[in-house]
Amino acid sequence: MYACMIFLLLTQETKMIGVMGAMEVEVELIDDVMKIERIDTIGMKTYKIGSIFDVPCVLAEAGVGKVASTQTAQTFIMGYGVELIIFTGVAGGINPVLEVGDIVISKEVVHHDFGQILPDSFIPFDTIGFPADSYLIRLALDAGEKVELVPVIDEMKIEGRMPEVILGRIATGDQFISSEAKRLWIERVFNADCVEMEGAAVAQVCSAYDVPFLIIRSLSDLANEDADIDFQTFVVHAAENSSRLVEEIIRQLARSEDR
């Protein structure tokens, strides 16, 4: 049954794009603008098939962490033959100039928890990472100029500044970072701008299959000791900013003649 379904999916003519996020809050706004034609369940995950602004699309809530996002990226590629993958979601800020609500467009994505443990240190196996697709980066930077983002409103209900959109480095690990010491370490060792829990896994799968990818992240917290509480306060807001940018990227893809 499963093999038959995969065969049917693989023989579909139309190329799709794959859009994923880890949590429901990260994909629900994309879901709102999607025309859904069919819903598949594969490996206990839900894949919504349809279109966004007439671009054929498969949308999935992957789950949190590197294994979950690997599973979804692999299914996007092997099951649906996607032509590109865009990840939308939230992250912890690593670059100290960034604030909650700001957006990082991936230039490269690197695993920060992949390496060798020595008695007094940790040696990463890679500090360079996987480069995102240059065409998608260009589309995202253009989209960043046009998109209307929501300024952060803090707990005091004081309207904050307009979010910045930067091109930067994203570090990924199976860890939620709530430590200023660890934030500093990730900044120093990986020169990262933000930290999250899925991007490098998606990037690694995409690189293995030569599928272009882009990771979009908006900051829900600053990866310090307040990260837990900031995450709870700002996750919806940050997820909305990331979704708005991804929607604008897909709008540009729909217009693009290169597809």
**Nearest alpha carbon to residue 86 among 44, 37, 26:** 26
Q: Tell me the residue number closest to ligand ADE, measured at CB.
A: 92
Instruction: Provide, rounded to whole angstroms, the least separation between the CB of residue 90 and ligand ADE.
Output: 5
Instruction: Provide, rounded to whole angstroms, the least separation between the CB of residue 223 and ligand ADE.
Output: 4
Alpha-carbon span 33 to 42, nearest angstrom: 23
Number of residues interacting with ligand ADE: please give it, by CB under 6 A. 13
Rule CB under 6 A: is residue 177 a binding residue for ligand ADE?
yes
Nearer to ligand ADE, 16 or 29 (CB): 29
Residues in contact with ligand ADE, shown as a per-residue x/- string from 48 to 87 under the rule CB under 6 A: ----------------------------------------
Rule CB under 6 A: is residue 195 a binding residue for ligand ADE?
yes
Instruction: Provide, rounded to whole angstroms, the least separation between the CB of residue 30 and ligand ADE.
Output: 18
Alpha-carbon span 227 to 202, nearest angstrom: 24
Alpha-carbon span 245 to 217, nearest angstrom: 10
Nearer to ligand ADE, 187 or 196 (CB): 196
Residues in contact with ligand ADE, shown as a per-residue x/- string from 208 to 237 under the rule CB under 6 A: ------------xx-x---x---x------
Q: Determine which helix (DSSP H) or strand (DSSP E) holds 39, and give its type and residue range.
A: strand 35-42
3-state DSSP call for residue 191? coil
> Which residues, numbered 80-109, are part of the site for ligand ADE (CB under 6 A)?
90-92
Rule CB under 6 A: is residue 16 a binding residue for ligand ADE?
no
64 neighbors 198 (Cβ within 8 angstroms) = yes
List 55, 197, 200, 246, residue binding ligand ADE (CB under 6 A): 197
Q: How far is CA 191 from the centre of its chain?
A: 19
Report residue 27 as tokens. Answer: 């994909």
Alpha-carbon span 71 to 54, nearest angstrom: 26
DSSP 153: B
The set of catalytic residues is 26, 221
With 0-12 / 13-18 / 19 or more C-beta atoms within 10 angstroms meaning exposed / middle / buried, residue 188 is exposed
Instruction: Provide, rounded to whole angstroms, the least separation between the CB of residue 92 and ligand ADE.
Output: 3
Query: Which residues contribute to the site for ligand ADE (CB under 6 A)?
Result: 90-92, 176-177, 195-197, 220-221, 223, 227, 231
